[in-house]
Amino acid sequence: MSKRYAMVIDLRRCVGCQTCTAACKSANATPPGVQWRRVLDIESGKFPDVSRTFLPVACMHCANPPCMHVCPTTATKQREDGLVTIDYDICIGCSNCIMACPYDARSIEHDPRYAYGEPMKSEIARFDPERLSVATKCTFCKERIDLAAVTGQTPGLDPDVTPACVNSCISGAMHFGDVNDPDSNISMLLAETRHFRMHEELGTDPSVYYIWDGAKA
Amino acid sequence: MSEARKTGDRVLPRQQSNWDARAAANFICGGAGGGLLLATALASVHGEDLRPLVVVALALVGAGLLAVWFEIGRPWRALNVYLNAATSWMSREAMIAPFLFASGAAAVLFNWPLASWIAGLLGLLYLYCQARMLHANKGIPAWRHASCVGMMVATGVVEGAGLLCAGALYWPGLVAFGVLLAVLLAVRLLAWRKYLASLRSAGVPVGTSKALNALDVRFVWLGHAAPAVLGVVASLGGLPLLAVLAGVLAAATGAWFKYTLVCRAAFTQGFALPQTPSRGGNNAGPGVQPGWNRIQPE
Ligand code: SF4
Ligand code: SF4
């Protein structure tokens, strides 16, 4: 069976610090206003029985991705290992994939934007005109995952080949690995916890799992 | 599920902002143009030379495509739109367009009835592709229901019949189609009720329900009851001006519905928690879906 990379996020541990958000911005040089990853803050319940949940979200790298099905150009593709990718050279910026994604994971920026109006040196150095007017989203840091094939390291275990957000998490809430391997770090974690996937009822088969409790007693 | 009391950044469904009035114009003009091609083919059995209406229909489809060309981020790569006919309804819509224009042009230039029929059928197919394009967008709850397809197709067909009736200004014989318009309006009304009922049972974002509720009453009376009565009276009394009024009302309210659907009611899915997690000493709690409700009739 081929690999299927997935992310497991332990909602019991996330403290909403947004370090993963910052790590993603740093790793991928996304412009202001574009967040491939972000952490949502949800309060629920009625006083005094209230709760607050921090929910990290990004592209779920769905196994049945509606964004790919609607894409008229084949710019959005799915790799053997489950990663959903966008070819910036083919994309026409029609936004159909944005409408199809139930996870608000994609964005299109038409003009360059800089944190303080005028570009800083670092922003000039990392500016990529290919990303203008095309769809962009979280890539699961695919360059790192591809590096694993060269170095023989294991994504999710070796930081060099693990998504930046997972590496950065201060509370150990985020995990990454091959969900098709029953002995992988994430398969074992899923086996011993209770979890859900976002909007599963829509049939997208997302590759991000959210742990909400320990195993049933 | 318990009520959400406060939500953070982009938890709530929000009106999509990537498809604006230009995209709506493609659904409005393309749908009306496709419907008019079909209506003109049907009406050609009446014996009138309706080729100017075919020209209007082609201009409408062309205007819709031009509007969308102005919307896409990389317009000079627009031909890439043909690369995914295997699964994309946008590709399929684009593939039909050249054949639609070619058959329409042949109908106009050579006055071939067969070309007119082919253009009419392609117009219907074009309409269907547009409807399926919306339906395939799982991220927009107001679009993804199967009943949205029926509503979009019914709207395009009604718009076509409406524009045909508006042609009674120049071809008074077209008043006869006022009755057909009334029948089609009844079908669109049924499709509208079915569409709302399916959204009510499945639940939708609050903003979607507000936008559609705001449309409902006026859409029913101004968009259906009034033009249906006018169409029937025009047909029975042989009154072209009434047929024109009926047609314009039917078409304009169709455009109003589509604009609402794309630019007012197209809220995103938002996020939900089937369970809130156990944290610290607290047990896991009930789930929450901020910003959602069921459409309540006003
Ligand atoms: S989360 Fe959205 S963008 Fe990512 S694969 Fe799924 S549908 Fe596509
Ligand atoms: S914006 Fe690009 S990736 Fe998205 S559907 Fe259009 S062509 Fe495909």
Strand order in the sheet with B4-7: A49-57, A38-46, B4-7
Determine which helix (DSSP H) or strand (DSSP E) holds A108, and give its type and residue range. strand A107-108
In the predicted model, is pLDDT for residue B60 greater than 50? yes
Q: Domain B18-270 adopts which CATH fold?
A: Formate dehydrogenase/DMSO reductase fold (1.20.1630)
Q: Is A59 in the pocket of ligand 1 (CB under 6 A)?
A: yes
At B175 the pLDDT is 97
CB neighbour class for B257 (10 Å; exposed up to 12, middle 13-18, buried from 19): buried
From the CA of A71, how far away is ligand 1's center (Å)? 12
Give the 3-state secondary structure of residue B241: helix
CB contact under 8 A, B10 and A104: yes
Q: Whose CA is nearest to atom 1 of ligand 2?
A: A93
CA–CA separation, A34 and B202 (whole Å):
31
Q: Note whether B125 and B96 are within 8 A (CB).
A: yes
Query: Which one, of B263, B186, B165, B12, lies nearest residue A99 by Cα?
Result: B263
pTM: 0.94
Q: Is A101 in the pocket of ligand 2 (CB under 6 A)?
A: no
CA–CA separation, A136 and A140 (whole Å):
12
CB neighbour class for B64 (10 Å; exposed up to 12, middle 13-18, buried from 19): buried
How does the average pLDDT of chain B come out, rounded?
94
Give the 3-state secondary structure of residue A174: strand
Quickly list H helices, B17-145.
Answer: 21-43, 51-71, 89-110, 113-135
CA–CA separation, B4 and B270 (whole Å):
13
Ligand nearest to C-alpha A60: 1
Give the 3-state secondary structure of residue A37: coil
Angle, helix B21-43 to helix B51-71, in steps of 10 degrees = 160
β strands within B222-281, DSSP E: 273-276
Q: Find residues 17-76 of chain A whose CB sits inside 8 Å of chain B.
A: 38, 40-46, 49-51, 53, 55, 57, 66, 68-75
Which pair of tokens denotes residue B298? 């006003």
Which pair of tokens denotes residue A143? 């360059």
At B236 the pLDDT is 97
DSSP 3-state percent helix, strand, coil across chain B (nearest 5): 70, 5, 20
Ligand 1 atom showing the smallest separation from residue A204 Cα: 6
At B294 the pLDDT is 53
At A199 the pLDDT is 97
pLDDT tier at B9 (50, 70, 90 boundaries)? Answer: low
CB contact under 8 A, B73 and A110: yes
At B296 the pLDDT is 46
Residues 6+ apart with CB under 8 A from B87: A68, A69, A70
CB neighbour class for A122 (10 Å; exposed up to 12, middle 13-18, buried from 19): exposed
CB contact under 8 A, A108 and B269: no
CA–CA separation, A69 and A45 (whole Å):
37
CA–CA separation, B22 and B67 (whole Å):
5
Pick from B5, B80, B139: CB nearest A44: B5
CB contact under 8 A, A72 and B10: no
A90 CB neighbours in chain B (<8 A) are 77, 80, 83
Q: Whose CA is nearest to atom 6 of ligand 2?
A: A94
**Which residue type is seen at B96?**
I
Q: pLDDT digits over B167-217, tens only? A: 999 999 999 999 999 999 999 999 999 999 999 999 999 999 999 999 999
Ligand 1 atom showing the smallest separation from residue A84 Cα: 5
Ligand 1 atom showing the smallest separation from residue A60 Cα: 1
Q: Find, in chain A, the residue whose alpha carbon is nearest to that of B16.
A: A99
Q: Note whether A187 and A177 are within 8 A (CB).
A: yes
At B4 the pLDDT is 41
In the predicted model, is pLDDT for residue B218 greater than 80? yes
At A217 the pLDDT is 61
Does A93 reach chain B within 8 Å, measured CB to CB?
yes
Is A5-214 a CATH 3.90.45.10 domain? no
pLDDT tier at B72 (50, 70, 90 boundaries)? Answer: very high
- Does ipTM top 0.85? yes
Q: Best residue in B268, B279, B288 to probe A by mutation, most A CBs within 10 Å? A: B279
Cis check for the bond before A119: say yes or no (omega within 30 of 0). no
In the predicted model, is pLDDT for residue B281 greater than 90? no
In the predicted model, is pLDDT for residue B1 greater than 90? no
Q: pLDDT digits over B234-251, tens only? A: 999 999 999 999 999 999
Neighbours of B73 (CB within 10 A): 18
217 residues of chain A, pLDDT tens digit each: 799 999 999 999 999 999 999 999 999 999 999 999 999 999 988 888 888 999 999 999 999 999 999 999 999 999 999 999 999 999 999 999 999 999 999 999 999 999 999 999 999 999 999 999 999 999 999 999 999 999 999 999 999 999 999 999 999 999 999 999 999 999 999 999 999 999 999 999 999 999 999 987 6
CB contact under 8 A, A102 and B139: yes
